[in-house]
Amino acid sequence: MSPVRPGEQEPNRQRRVVNAGADQVGCVPRKFGFVRVDPLVGSSTWEFARLLSSSGCVPPRRRGFVHRVAVRVRVSFLDARWNAAVIRERPAPARSGVSIPARECRSSPMSFRRRTARDRARRELGQNFLINPSTTRRLSRALEPSAHPVVELGAGRGALTRELVRLGRPVIAVELDPRWAEHLTAEFPQVRTHRGDMRAFRFPARPHAVIGNLPFGITTTMTRRLLATPHWTEAVLLVQLDVARKRSRGGSQLNAQWAPWFDFRLLGEVPAHHFRPVPACDGGIVHITRRRLLPVERRSDYQSFVEAVYQARGRSLAQRVRNVTGRRVHDVPPLPRDVTPQGWAHLYRQVRSS
C-alpha cells in the first residue's frame, strides 16, 4: 500500500494511542526519556511520520512507530491529520499511563542527531555500551585479586574503566574511537589509554589480566586471538549469551582445540537492556583461566588432530579416529562433543604414542 501524500485523507484505521491525553498528545519512548509530540491539524499522518524520522526519534513504519532501544512499543495515532509537530524531550510518564506535568529537561547532544559514519561503523562491529553499574561491578569483581596490570578491551565511555581504577591496579584501556579515547584520557589520567583496534593491540610481555565488553561482531575473531596470546593469566569477557554458553558448555571444535590449556566458565547473564544501544540478544560473562593438560609445544599438532577428527567421516568417535590415524581406540565416548578436556588429552596421547 502506497503512503498517504500530504493533503490526502489517510484510510480510517482504529489505532491505539500510547500515553495520550484528551489533547491527543503522544509520548514516544526514547533512549533519553520520553518525547512529547504536539500535533497540529492539517496534514497527513505519513508526513508527520517523516517529520519524526528526520528529527531522529524513531524509525518510520507504515503501520506505526517501533521503538528499537528500550522496548518494542507500537505507537499510532487516531484519525487525526497533521501539518507540523513540536518535539521536545520529556521525563518518563507515571506508571498509570497519564503524562506528568510539563517540565523541560536538557536534551542530550546525541538525542536528535542523524546517524553518522561513526555510528554506522560502531553498529557494524556490534559495539554496545554498558550502562548498568551493577554489571560493571560484577565484571570488575570477577577478576582474581592481584597486582598485575589489567588490559581493558573496548573501553568506550569508561563505565567499566571507572570500576577497574577503584581496584588499585594499573589499567591499560584500548579504544578504537578517537573521541572516546580522548574522553578516557581526560577522565582517567592515571589510566594508560591506547587508541587503536583491539585486534591489532600488542599485549604486554608480562603477566596481566584481560577484561572487556567485546563488540558482538568480532567476538570469535578476538577470542581466537586472545587464546593464542601468551602472558595473560585470566580473562573476563562479556560476549553474546549463546557464545558464552557454547564456550562454557564445551562440545564444539573450538573448545576441544583449546581445552587442554584453557578453562571456560559462565559466570552469569547480562540482560539486553543493560546496553546502549540495546542489542538483539542478551550477554554472558565468561571467565577464562589457564591450565596445562598437554605441553604447549604440542598445541599445533594437537589442534590439527582435533580438526581432522571433527571433519572425518564415521558414525562414532572411534571410527573417526581410526579413519584419521589408522589406530583403534577403546572406551571412548560415542561422539566428539561428548569428550571432556581430560579425555581429549588422553586420546591424543594414546594415538600419538609409539
Non-local CB neighbours of 315 within 8 Å, separated by 6+ positions: none
How many CB atoms within 10 Å of residue 114? 9
Alpha-carbon distances, residue 111 vs 71, 225, 265 (angstroms): 17, 36, 38
Q: Nearest-CA neighbor of 284 among 337, 214, 346?
A: 214
Q: Nearest-CA neighbor of 171 among 199, 202, 204?
A: 204
What is the rounded CA–CA span in Å between residue 226 and residue 61? 42
Q: What are the backbone dihedrals phi and psi of residue 230, each rounded to the nearest 5 degrees, phi first?
A: -85, 180
Asked if 50 contacts 96 with a C-beta cutoff of 8 angstroms, the reply is no
Give, as one character, the DSSP assignment of residue 63. Answer: T
Grid cell 501524500 in the structure block, residue: 5
Helix, coil or strand: residue 340 = coil
Nine-digit cell string for 298: 604440542
* 154 marked among binding-site residues: yes
What is the rounded CA–CA span in Å between residue 281 and residue 269? 11
- What residues does 74 pair with on adjacent strands? 66
Nine-digit cell string for 219: 567476538
* 197 marked among binding-site residues: yes
Helical ranges in 216-312 per DSSP H: 219-227, 241-249, 253-258, 299-311
Q: Nearest-CA neighbor of 279 among 77, 154, 128?
A: 128
Strand order in the sheet with 74-75: 60-61, 64-66, 74-75
Asked if 265 contacts 290 with a C-beta cutoff of 8 angstroms, the reply is no
Asked if 274 contacts 317 with a C-beta cutoff of 8 angstroms, the reply is no
What is the rounded CA–CA span in Å between residue 163 and residue 155? 11
List the binding residues.
128, 130, 154, 175, 197, 213
Question: Which amino acids are annotated as binding site for S-adenosyl-L-methionine, given as ranges?
Answer: 128, 130, 154, 175, 197, 213
